[in-house]
Amino acid sequence: LNGNNAQSYVKHLLIDEMQDYSPIQYKVIQKLYPCRKTILGDTSQSVNPYGSSTAGMIQKAFVTGEIMKLCKSYRSTFEITSFAQKIQPNNELEPIMRHGEHPKILPFKNTEEEIQGIADLVNSFRNSH
């Protein structure tokens, strides 16, 4: 970190999965890359529930930053988004009106049956394509 200008040629840094970085990591990034940044993420998708960052934490690390919330979900169909809302509600999420199949809940009696069920689904998918 001392005297290293190797990153000075970076004019704009794009960081995805922001929720998986800690505030201290953002401070290090700020020191290494003093350029403009675009930081993207979804706090509902953190892989580390104990070390994840919120938009507010990131704004504290990058004081001059602006937060924009993108609430329209283009990733999933209306049916999948509605199903997910029952598991983890998000009042700000707006599903698009692209329709598809309803999600299926597959009951299994035990772990072995679940593993076999998943293997059967994977094999069925492989054989159909």
Q: Are 57 and 23 in contact (CB under 8 A)?
A: yes
Query: Which of 12-16, 18-22, 33-37, 53-57 comes out lowest in average pLDDT?
Result: 53-57
What own/partner pairs with CB < 8 Å and gap ≥ 24 does 87-93 have? 88/44, 90/44
For residues 18, 42, 118, 79, the Cα torsion angle rounded to the nearest 10 degrees is -160
Percent of the chain topping pLDDT 90: 36
Q: Which residue has the tokens 């000075």?
A: 8
Q: Phi and psi at residue 128, in whole multiples of 5°?
A: -90, -10
CA-nearest of 8, 9, 26 to 17 is 26
What Rg do the C-alpha atoms of the chain give, in angstroms?
20
The span from the CA of 51 to the CA of 70, in Å, is 23
- pLDDT digits over 10-24, tens only? 899 998 988 888 888
Q: What is the pTM of this model?
A: 0.59
Q: Are 29 and 53 in contact (CB under 8 A)?
A: no
User: Residue 73: beta bridge partners?
Assistant: 95
* Domains of the chain, residue spans: 1-69, 71-129
Q: Phi and psi at residue 97, in whole multiples of 5°?
A: -90, 55
The H-or-E segment that residue 82 falls in is helix 78-87
- pLDDT digits over 68-102, tens only? 788 888 889 999 999 999 998 888 888 889 999 99
